[in-house]
Amino acid sequence: MELVLALAIGVLGGSGVWLLLRPRTFQVVMGLTLLSYAVNLFIFCVGGLRLGADPVLREGAGLIEYADPLPQALVLTAIVIGFATTALFLVVLLASRGFTGSDHVDGKDGAP
Amino acid sequence: MNAHLLAGPILLPLAAAALQLLLGERRRGAASALGALSCLGLLGFALALLAVVGDGTTLVYRIGGWPARFGIVLVADRLSALMLLLTAVLALALLPVVLGRWRRPGSALQPLAQFLLMGLNGTFLTGDLFNLFVFFEVLLAASYGLALHHPSAQRVGAGLHYIAINLLASLLFLVGVSLIFGVTGTLNMAALAQLVPQVPANTRALLHAGAAILGVAFLVKAAMWPLGFWLPRSYAAAPSAVAAMFAVMTKVGVYVLLRLSLLLFGAGAGAASAGFGSGWLLWGGAATVATGVAGMLGARELSRLAGYNVLVSSGSLLGAIGVGQPAVIAGALAYLVVSTLAVAAFFLLAGLIAPRDDAEEAPLLEAYDPGGLALYADEDESQPTQPAPVRLLAGGFFIAALLLAGLPPLSGFLAKFALLAPLVGAGAEAMMLFALIVAGGLGTVVAMCRVGIQVFWEDDWVFPPIHNGAVASVAILLGLCLLLTVLGEAPMRYLQATAAQLHWPDGYIRVVLP
């Protein structure tokens, strides 16, 4: 399971960085989204990966048997904030498209 | 009872912004009054906090009464109170320009400004890393809206880059925070400071990696070279009053770096971690100063020149944090206060002298040409016909230039002297920073002379109509700097005590985790 998760984070992060460096605004948005998925997964797994750990209190179970709740809380906050900022970025993207008539990040194609 | 003071600077702007949104367009007078009251209230809170923490107490507010390891804490010491006061003063000083100039319908400028204040105050008060992230996002989200206020093609283009780079920095922030959490199992700053010396050797590298990634996120905000190329363009494209408010935003990055580097990686962090990253800060700060001066000399737009001024000031501060001795930090704090106020005034002046409208580009300075005649106005040419407002602008520009270049007799010089004097004898690297900051001052003088000659001494510069609100704000900001010149002694004592307190993290830890 560690390998699958690590690969998923790596692939998402790599694709995100590549897309982020592309010249079209939509690609940048997609890159940021993929990167935030990678980061969210990363936060989720820093608490340690466990199979079958209890998420909620159970009668008679020790603290050691529970999944760490803090990364889950952190990831929830990060998802909400990332979602909101991406929505805001989309609005700016559309405004830029409206002003310049181009979806290039600099407002015009740099090709000579 | 005192501890409840800490919630005020966060809740007050939040409530004001919510009410302003509810009041909306129709009752704009009430909304403005609310904004003014909120700024006054913030100043009151900051002064009250200053009075309480001035004797060295550290105040802690535990939300819901939970112990610090489990709950959310707000902490105020001398540094937090100083930053709160600076923010409140800047907000109050900018009120005239905000109220007088921006009454266009459909603008959410005032609520956004209040949210920005909330984010700033929260950042200065929070005691754990994750709430630092949350408050950072609050202030960034507000700043996106402010930077895009009354959008034009140029503004939206610059805003797009600004948002993209800040979103990326936020993601780095999260990665750093989660790495630190993975190693130590806590995000409370005081608990972290306790745990750092005890981290086992095999995970210490991971802790350092987390701290470094976190540091990169703050260095993007503090605009260290080479992470700061977004700053001049974004700040130049923003409305001048917004850019003036943003002058304190780079200082947020500086504040967090100062706080965390001395709390987590101070002398008590053990041999393996003490002073982690200070070399990077020192050399990065030096490179930032050099970039800023070069940009200042080459800039053709006034607002961009002001942006490069921000780079010089944050570079000097980062370098000083890298040196890290108490006397240097005290000087750096003095420089932080004066340069924030002076840069804010300069952004407003740039807006008055060469405003950017939607329709036309801002007037440009002439291209740099050492052989050309542009630099040399006729010396004996007197212009008795200059109208009074222009002379007023010229006076304000002169004072701001003196403050930014750090020339005597104003407070800019005193602050720079307080920063530079302890650098002598602090080692070869500190001497390098010393030389660079002095050279940076010289570069500032040259750049300012160039602007002054071309704008005020040649008669073909077209001045736009003067806005009274902006002039009032500039007068308040420069007046405060002049006041600091006269007061000199008492603030400096406070700053020295602040630096001493920062170098004694045990006091902070003991109060937060009793």
In degrees, rounded to 5, the angle at the alpha carbon of residue B127 between the alpha carbons of residues B126 and B133 is: 55
Residue partners of A14: CB distance under 8 A and separation at least 6:
none
Distance from CA of B140 to the nearest CA of A (A): 9
B243: its two tokens: 């850019």
Residues of chain A positioned with their CB less than 8 A from the CB of B170: 81-82, 85
CB < 8 Å from A in window 118-157 of B: 130, 133-134, 137, 140-141, 144, 148, 151-153, 156-157
Nearest residue in B to A84, CA atom: B141
A109: its two tokens: 């194609």
Residue partners of B192: CB distance under 8 A and separation at least 6:
B129, B180, B184, B186, B263, B264
Looking at this protein, which amino acid is placed at residue B256? V
The answer to whether the CB atoms of B130 and A74 lie below 8 A apart is yes
Which is it for the CA torsion B388, B389, B391, B395, positive or negative?
positive
pLDDT beyond 90 at A69:
no
What whole-number distance in Å separates Cα of residue B280 and Cα of residue B287?
10
Q: What pLDDT does residue B209 have?
A: 92
Which of B135, B148, B149, B160 has the highest number of chain A CBs within 10 A, making it the mutation to test binding with A? B160
Tens digits of per-residue pLDDT, B404-461? Answer: 888 888 888 888 888 888 888 878 888 899 999 999 999 999 998 888 888 888 777 7
Tens digits of per-residue pLDDT, B90-103? Answer: 999 988 888 776 56
Print burial letters for B10-44: b (CB count within 10 Å at least 16), e (below 16).
Answer: bebbbebbebbeebeeeebeebbebbbebbebbbe
Q: What pLDDT does residue B382 have?
A: 54
User: B59: which strand partners?
Assistant: B76
The answer to whether the CB atoms of A46 and B137 lie below 8 A apart is no
Nearest residue in A to B138, CA atom: A81
Residues B192, B198, B202, B206, Cα dihedral to 10°: 10
Tens digits of per-residue pLDDT, A76-112? Answer: 888 998 888 888 889 888 888 888 888 888 877 765 4
Nearest residue in A to B140, CA atom: A85
Residues of chain A positioned with their CB less than 8 A from the CB of B150: none
- Each domain of chain B, given as residue ranges in start order, spans 2-365+385-512
Q: Rounded to two decimals, what is the model's pTM?
A: 0.91
Which of A30, A72, A92, A104 has the highest number of chain B CBs within 10 A, making it the mutation to test binding with B? A92
- Each domain of chain A, given as residue ranges in start order, spans 2-48+68-100
ipTM associated with this complex: 0.91
Q: Based on C-alpha coordinates, what's the Rg of chain A?
A: 19
Which of A43, A80, A102 has the highest number of chain B CBs within 10 A, making it the mutation to test binding with B? A43
In degrees, rounded to 5, the angle at the alpha carbon of residue B61 between the alpha carbons of residues B59 and B66 is: 135
Q: How far is CA B354 from the centre of its chain?
A: 23
Residues B254, B319 contacting (CB under 8 angstroms): no
Residues of chain B positioned with their CB less than 8 A from the CB of A89: 163-164, 167
Q: What pLDDT does residue B370 have?
A: 59
Q: What pLDDT does residue B463 have?
A: 77
CB atoms under 10 Å from CB of A76, counted, come to 13
CB atoms under 10 Å from CB of B447, counted, come to 23
What whole-number distance in Å separates Cα of residue B52 and Cα of residue B61?
14
CB atoms under 10 Å from CB of B242, counted, come to 27
Residues of chain B with pLDDT under 70: 1, 101-107, 356-363, 366-386
